[in-house]
């Protein structure tokens, strides 16, 4: 009986500490920048823009000289997107948005090294972003190189980008289906997990103040397939 009371008390203390640290992380972030817009609304704005892009009914919002003047005073993007450098996947175009809307980080293979994570962190903490999308794409050249390299030269020094892609290639190696498609998907999921490794971001996700989502862009249709949260 005494033992169970002790365990109960200890659990209460642990819960209180956990609640405090979440509250502290939220307080720090809230003090730095208020949200530009709620996460669900921000995600919807991205997806609506993608629908317009798929249908060829672009509105080109926020691309006027007036908007340029407005955002020159300060930026308050509603979303952050980590995309591949591939010339066929520019977020501002495939989401039909304009100046000051999307905080974009692009790097071959949409991998997240420390600088990328720091950039995305910044957009959340200092600019009010409340949805972060990791966007892979079909037939990604970087992922193809990683898949091909992985099979022949596992221990070779292949440079930082392919090194970043290796865990996704290794995790998807025995999956049924197309190895490149699988590695593209696995890479997006791993990068999302990496981002959630940031203590503050993870606290915000748990509190419902931030969404970290993943998508795969189809080069042929323009459609973004959202991965399960």
**SS3 for the chain, per residue?**
CHHHHHHHHHHHHHHHHHHHHHHHHHHHHHHHCCCCCCHHHHHHHHHHHHHHHHHCCCCCCCCCHHHHHHHHCCCCCCEEEEECCCCCCCHHHHCCCCCCCEEEEECHHHCCCHHHHHHHHHHHHHHCCCEEEEEEECCCHHHHHHHHHHHHCCCCCCCHHHHHHHHHHHHHCCCCCCHHHHHHHHHHHHHHHHHHCCHHHHHHHHCCCCEEEEEEECCCCCCEEECCC
List of residues contacting Zn ion (CB under 5 A)? 84, 86, 140, 142
Specify the residue, 86 or 200, whose C-beta has the smaller distance to Zn ion: 86
| Rounded least distance, CB 135 to Zn ion, Å | 10
Specify the residue, 184 or 205, whose C-beta has the smaller distance to Zn ion: 184
| Rounded least distance, CB 222 to Zn ion, Å | 15
Specify the residue, 130 or 137, whose C-beta has the smaller distance to Zn ion: 137
| Rounded least distance, CB 160 to Zn ion, Å | 16
Specify the residue, 82 or 203, whose C-beta has the smaller distance to Zn ion: 82
| Rounded least distance, CB 155 to Zn ion, Å | 25
């Amino acid at each position: 009986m005494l033992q169970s009371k002790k365990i109960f008390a200890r659990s209460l203390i642990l819960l209180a500490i956990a609640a405090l640290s979440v509250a502290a992380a939220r307080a720090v972030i809230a003090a730095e920048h208020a949200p530009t817009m709620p996460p669900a609304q921000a995600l919807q704005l991205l997806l609506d823009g993608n629908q317009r892009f798929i249908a060829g009914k672009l509105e080109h919002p926020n691309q006027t000289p007036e908007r340029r003047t407005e955002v020159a005073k300060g930026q308050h993007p509603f979303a952050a997107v980590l995309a591949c450098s591939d010339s066929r996947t520019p977020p501002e175009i495939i989401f039909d948005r304009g100046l000051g809307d999307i905080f974009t980080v692009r790097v071959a293979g949409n991998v997240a090294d420390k600088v990328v994570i720091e950039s995305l962190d910044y957009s959340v903490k200092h600019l009010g972003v409340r949805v972060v999308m990791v966007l892979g794409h079909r037939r990604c050249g970087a992922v193809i190189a990683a898949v091909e390299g992985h099979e022949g030269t596992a221990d070779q020094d292949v440079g930082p980008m392919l090194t970043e892609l290796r865990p996704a290639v290794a995790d998807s190696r025995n999956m049924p289906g197309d190895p490149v498609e699988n590695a593209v998907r696995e890479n997006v999921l791993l990068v999302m997990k990496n981002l959630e490794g940031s203590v503050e971001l993870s606290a915000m996700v748990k509190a419902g103040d931030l969404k970290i989502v993943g998508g795969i862009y189809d080069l042929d249709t323009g459609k973004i397939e959202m991965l399960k949260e």
